[in-house]
Amino acid sequence: MNLILLGAPGAGKGTQAEVICDTLKIPAISTGNILREAVKNGTELGLKAKEYMESGNLVPDEVVIGLLKERIAQDDCKNGYVLDGFPRTVPQAEALDVMGVVIDKVIDIEVADEAIQKRLSGRRVCEDCGASYHVDYKPSAVEGKCDKCGGKTVQRKDDHPDTIKDRLNVYHEQTEPLKDYYSKTGKLVIVEGQEDVKDTTALTLKAVEA
Ligand code: AP5
């Protein structure tokens, strides 16, 4: 099964992608995580992406489309995958169609902008393994320390309040039109993001299984 998770930054795509992957035993592909890893390692891709990401802008389509194409050609993707954060523009969605990728379902997690501000400003991520926490909704057992690997948890540069506003503007302008794009294919399912992670998870899994 090939799934797309749509939604504003901080809507909970990464959180839900993890659950779907555990349930369906297919990999989650987060273009954001691939790009952050490249930035951390100072690769050519990372050098291209860094400035766009830190200012809350999208990395150019041709860069992201290229990396996605490489990633889904890998062996672990042959039984399907969950795309988290791709596509993010209409040209990226069109590129998937041109690649011949058949998408079974597009799950759009809807969360109001005000709630997004709270979620992203309280998010902390592990510097080493990338695990994600929230100071109120999903705190690590020991403050500042990752439950999974013991690494240090920090705030992402693009989770500062001003950058969150810019990311939301970019989302509304460039990514939200994808709802219309996929609604026309009959594959769009809307999940109303809930206050509690568990409640959103229940609705997401119901949408996957429907
Ligand atoms: P990316 O990493 O994809 O960031 P994003 O879309 O902005 O999404 P986030 O990872 O910030 O949020 P999320 O929806 O996964 O939420 P999460 O589950 O963590 O991209 C980063 C950057 O890379 C982009 O800005 C761009 O520059 C570039 N990029 C990536 N893909 C690209 C593409 N295709 N094209 C061009 N550029 C691209 O949840 C957020 C927080 O809320 C967490 O703390 C979590 O614990 C908490 N939370 C989650 N669910 C709930 C709930 N139900 N209730 C309460 N709290 C919750």
151-172 pLDDT tens trace: 999 999 899 988 999 999 999 9
Task: Evaluate: CB of 13 within 6 angstroms of ligand 1.
Answer: yes
Q: How many domains does the chain have?
A: 1
Confidence of residue 9 (pLDDT cuts 50, 70, 90): very high
58 is in an annotated binding site: yes
Q: Flag whether 100 is marked binding.
A: no
Which one of 118, 138, 156, 165 is the catalytic residue? 156
Question: Has residue 152 been placed in a domain?
Answer: no
Domain contains 204: yes
Residue 66 lies in a domain: yes
Q: Give the rounded percent of residues in the chain with a pLDDT score beyond 90.
A: 92
- The verdict on residue 165 lying in a domain is no
Q: Which residues of 38-53 are buried (b: 16+ CB within 10 A; e: fewer)?
A: bbeeeeebbeebbebb
7 within domain boundaries: yes
What are the two backbone dihedrals, phi and then psi, of residue 106, each rounded to the nearest 5 degrees?
A: -120, 115
Q: Residue 46 falls within a domain, yes or no?
A: yes
Which residue range is the domain that position 58 belongs to? 2-110+174-209
In which order are the strands placed within the sheet that holds 188-192?
28-30, 81-84, 2-7, 105-110, 188-192
Q: Please, which pLDDT band fits residue 94 given cuts at 50, 70 and 90?
A: very high
Q: Is 64 near ligand 1, meaning CB less than 6 Å away? A: yes
Evaluate: CB of 55 within 6 angstroms of ligand 1: no
Phi/psi for 71 (5° steps) reads -65, -40
Burial class (CB in 10 A: 0-12, 13-18, 19+), 136: exposed
In a domain, 146, yes or no: no
Q: How many residues does the chain have?
A: 210
Residue 130 has pLDDT above 90, yes or no: no
pTM: 0.94
User: Has 71 been annotated as catalytic?
Assistant: no
The structure tokens listed for 139 are 């705190």
123 is catalytic: yes
Q: Which atom of ligand 1 is nearest to the CA of 159?
A: 11
CATH code of the domain containing 64: 3.40.50.300
Indicate which residue's Cα is closest to atom 1 of ligand 1. Answer: 32
Average pLDDT, stretch 86-112? 97
Residue 25 lies in a domain: yes
pLDDT digits (tens, 9 = 90+) for 168-207: 999 999 999 999 999 999 999 999 999 888 999 999 999 9
Reply yes or no on whether 124 is catalytic: no
Question: Are the C-beta atoms of residues 187 and 180 closer than 8 Å to each other?
Answer: no
Q: Which amino acid is at 184?
A: K
Q: Is position 120 annotated in a ligand binding site?
A: no
Asked if residue 34 has its Cβ within 6 Å of ligand 1, the reply is no
